[in-house]
Amino acid sequence: MRDNRGVTATTPRIEIEYCTRCRWLLRAAWTAQELLTTFEGELGEVALVPGTGGVFEVRLDGETLWSRTERAAFPELAELKRAVRDRVAPDRGLGHSERR
């Protein structure tokens, strides 16, 4: 039984909610590892959250950074990293991920 019984998490917290039936765990785990590698010192945690119904959503402290339902696509890593950087490490350059 799942609920939000106020178990606290460490912020800045990224949530990656992914559709289990669509078999998107591997993509979600890959995305998590990319973000934890790039923002090793800035993120408090990255949580993998099983979901259903075609969901693939990346949230940072409750703000949706990417929603597959809205964009009809998976997040492009460089763009996702820029969105995270702008919020948790605004002064940081991202090298390859910087260019469009």
> Residues interacting with a copy of itself, by CB under 8 A?
2-13, 15, 20, 25-26, 29, 32-33, 36-37, 40-41, 43-50, 61-62
Residue 40 CB, nearest approach to a copy of itself (Å)? 5
Q: How far apart are CA 44 and CA 63, in angstroms?
A: 15
Do the Cβ atoms of 57 and 17 come closer than 8 Å?
yes
Nearer to a copy of itself, 14 or 66 (CB): 14
Nearer to a copy of itself, 15 or 56 (CB): 15
3-state secondary structure of 31: helix
Residue 95 CB, nearest approach to a copy of itself (Å)? 19
| Both structure tokens of 14 | 């990224």
Residue 51 CB, nearest approach to a copy of itself (Å)? 10
Residue 1 CB, nearest approach to a copy of itself (Å)? 8
Nearer to a copy of itself, 48 or 99 (CB): 48
For CA atoms 63, 73, 24, 30, the dihedral sign is negative
What residues contact 86, with CB distance under 8 A and at least 6 apart?
none
